[in-house]
Structure 1
Amino acid sequence: MRNVFPVLTVVAVILGIWYLACVPMNIKTALTNAERAGAEVSVAGAKERRDLSAMALAVANPAQWGDTLVQSKPRLPAPHQVAVELWQTTVEKKITSKRSLVFHGWITLSATLLGFAIGTAAGIMLAIGIVHSRAMDMSVMPWAIASQTIPVLAIAPMIIVVFNSIGIQGLIPKAIISAYLSFFPVVVGMVKGLRSPSAMQLDQMRTWGASAAQSFWTLRLPSSVPYLFTSLKIGIAASLVGAIVGELPTGAVRGLGARLLTGSYYGQTIQIWSALFATAILAACLVAIIGGVERVTLKKMGYGK
């Protein structure tokens, strides 16, 4: 309970701020709806409302506050609206339905996991080469850093177009974009981990007559495991972002990115926010799974209790 109470307090504060923000964000639509229903409002007319700020309108029309929390297409949906949409599109829909977030989440998850696997493998191999070859350290590492300065929104359409030109569509292009975002944290973490043994430890391995390969497998690689898992947590989240970004340029009809697109096309802000929360929940689950594997692995290796 001592650890739960601060978390619940922060969540309650966030929800309170969220509900309060809905009032000024949605007040103009609430006033329009009230006028159409024949109710009296303190600020009538579209021109007068344009001249006043949203906060001023909210303060002047407390009777319309309730309507700001129940609109079908609000500028900012209320928390309970997002929660209801999440429930309806996960629990109440068949997972094969095109309106199910579970269905769309699986499409995005497939690209995420494939891209994460590719990015992790590429990152580990690059890190090993960088640590053991000064030439790769001087040449590859600067390029790896420079690659992350290119906005993924700029490079994603290029990757999609290139793969489409050779007849490859669907999962693979999205996985490549995911790998592009996820490999860099793995490279950095593994390089740091492989170089974490001290000079004294390396000298001791040489004193025992260990070869470079023996030093790698018995000293460098075990020392890098904690760094690797930290990188993997960052990499899996980045991979999920890459998969969603990969769905946007293609006008995809499946995946969480597709839900964001269709929501923006038709002004369905509740759908957009529910897809965003589904993405956050999926990312949290993936990170938690890696964290669980990390605890088991490090415990077996003797790191901590």
Structure 2
Amino acid sequence: MDRLRDKVVPVSVIVAMIVVVWYGFAAVLNGPFQRDLDRRAGETPGFVEFMVKTWSQPKPTLPAPHQVAQNFFKTTFQVKPWSARSLVYHSWVTLSSTMLGFAFGTALGILIAVGIVHFLALDRSLMPWIIASQTIPILAIAPMVIVVFAAIGITGLFPKALISTYLSFFPVAVGMVKGLRSPEVMHLDLMHTYNASAAQTFWKLRVPASLPFLFASMKVAVAASLVGAIVAELPTGAVAGIGAKLLSGSYYSQTIEMWAALVAGSLVAVLLVAMVGAAGRITERAMGGRPA
């Protein structure tokens, strides 16, 4: 109970502080427009009334937390999940490309890491290019990928998943390289003393030692994959997905819907990271690790 309280109380305090600051910024950013409305209407509201008005505008510059919460609740629980107005539906569309891209990225990252660890030429030639690839902004790559694949008749899930793969393979590759190289020289010498083959050393020593690094990097990769999926929906003119909700909200100045979509994306990210963390703990326990 004490351990749970030690986790809940600090998080609750931080969330409360964020909400208070959020309300303050909402009043500041929405204030000029509200003053103009009051001036045109010939009204002179008091301080409390003015603040309430800044937090209840239909298309505010910055929506208040309760406006976002109300829209999120309405579009999540009060409409059918398969409806085009449902955040559940849009989250699922984005989640599908995220998971596919994450699977591709994880597999690619592991393969690259295994090759780099076992072949010195790949370490010297491939690793610098992998690092350099991440300096290219994803906003510049996404439209090109979408256009190229559309030109050959490939649209929909795969191009978006490919962009997620681009963002997610890098942390997995770097983390896995670190993990495969983490066994101490003494342990490697011991395997050599036992006359273990390279394959036995890899499966019985390097892979178990790399798992903590792998799952830590996968948490970063799955979040990056979600970002890639959302960004990939922007240049496609997609009609479904969190990116599509953000795009349509920006077209029609529906800032409340935009923020609700951002909240949905954040919750999807938290869920994905939690799932990877749970998979890591299960794997470590199955291999004889002590529970945290």
TM-score w.r.t. the length of structure 2 is 0.96
**1:128 corresponds to:** 114
- What SS class does the counterpart of residue 6 from structure 2 fall into? coil
State the distance in 1 between where 2:227 and 2:257 align. 18
Q: Cα distance, 1:32 vs. partner?
A: 2.4
Q: Cα distance, 1:2 vs. partner?
A: 3.2
RMSD of equivalent CA atoms: 1.3
Of residues 18, 21, 26, the one that matches 2:25 is: 21
**2:240 corresponds to:** 254
State the distance in 2 between where 1:191 and 1:7 align. 34
Asked whether 1:226 is paired with 2:230, we answer: no
State the distance in 1 between where 2:135 and 2:7 align. 39
Asked whether 1:217 is paired with 2:203, we answer: yes
State the distance in 2 between where 1:185 and 1:226 align. 13
Asked whether 1:285 is paired with 2:285, we answer: no
Deviates more, 1:291-300 or 1:253-262: 291-300
Q: Cα distance, 1:161 vs. partner?
A: 1.0
Of residues 142, 152, 160, the one that matches 1:174 is: 160
State the distance in 2 between where 1:3 and 1:218 align. 36
Extract unaligned runs of 5+ from structure 2.
none
TM-score w.r.t. the length of structure 1 is 0.92
**1:88 corresponds to:** 74
Does the 8 Å contact 1:85/1:270 carry over to 2?
yes
Query: Which amino acid letter does the alignment assign opposite residue 179 of structure 1?
Result: T
Extract unaligned runs of 5+ from structure 1.
42-59
Of residues 34, 41, 59, the one that matches 1:37 is: 41
Of residues 258, 263, 287, the one that matches 1:301 is: 287
**After the TM superposition, which parts of structure 1 deviate over 2 Å for at least 4 consecutive aligned residues?**
35-38, 60-63, 302-305
- What SS class does the counterpart of residue 3 from structure 1 fall into? helix
- What SS class does the counterpart of residue 65 from structure 1 fall into? helix
**1:205 corresponds to:** 191
Q: Cα distance, 1:257 vs. partner?
A: 0.1
State the distance in 2 between where 1:25 and 1:62 align. 16
Query: Which amino acid letter does the alignment assign opposite residue 15 of structure 2?
Result: V
Q: Cα distance, 1:243 vs. partner?
A: 0.3
**1:154 corresponds to:** 140
Deviates more, 1:180-189 or 1:4-13: 4-13
* Residues 153-191 of structure 1 deviation map (CA, whole Å, 9 limit, x = unaligned): 001111111111111001000000000000000000000
Q: Cα distance, 1:259 vs. partner?
A: 0.2
Q: Cα distance, 1:61 vs. partner?
A: 5.8
Query: Which amino acid letter does the alignment assign opposite residue 273 of structure 2?
Result: V
Aligned residues: 287
Q: Cα distance, 1:37 vs. partner?
A: 3.3
Q: What percentage of aligned pairs have identical amino acids?
A: 57
Does the 8 Å contact 1:19/1:78 carry over to 2?
yes
Structure showing greater radius of gyration is 1
Query: Which amino acid letter does the alignment assign opposite residue 76 of structure 1?
Result: L
State the distance in 2 between where 1:219 and 1:174 align. 36
